[in-house]
Amino acid sequence: MNDQPAPQPQPTPEAPRRPWLQFTLPGCRTELRLGALLVLSGTFLWNFAGPSLAMKLAVVGLPLLVVGAALQALLSARRGVDAYPWKLAIAMLILGVPMCFDFRYRDAPGAELQLLLVGPILAVAGGWLALWWPVSAMNLRRARMEAA
């Protein structure tokens, strides 16, 4: 009989699980996050903040999102940071495209058809993010191959 305890097997380290509903990941550029937040706030707070303030928020956030998406896809992915917000792009497209048709109105019967710019701005932002997604994936794959 041996009085020593049996050796315990070493646990294998598991890759950290990513939450399903987290739209941006650690490593996502700040200007991209801030721009997306401003576009979303301008889109969904237009009824509470008023249309003029909401459109100002969205118009200020759109350039940040445009620059941030390109920098995230080109620079961060080349460094091996897997943090491109593809879920945010899909959500913006799914919400923005129907809003383009839903937010059409006439001030009076027979008047000219007008469109609130909330839906198109959200759809354009989602489309821009979706456009840079393959570029980010290719740069990330290239960075992982160079690291291996």
The pTM is what?
Answer: 0.78
Residue 8: inside a domain: no
Residue 51: inside a domain: yes
User: In terms of residue numbers, what domain contains 125?
Assistant: 30-147
Q: Which helix (H) or strand (E) holds 140?
A: helix 118-147
Residue 99: inside a domain: yes
In the chain, the number of structural domains is 1
Residue 16: inside a domain: no
Residue 120: inside a domain: yes
Tens digit of pLDDT for each residue in 104-141? 888 889 899 988 888 899 999 999 999 999 999 999 89
Q: What does each C-alpha distance from 91 to 4, 53, 59, 96 come to in angstroms?
A: 57, 23, 19, 8
Q: How high is the pLDDT of residue 20?
A: 63
Residue 23: inside a domain: no
Distance from C-alpha of 32 to C-alpha of 61, rounded to nearest angstrom? 9
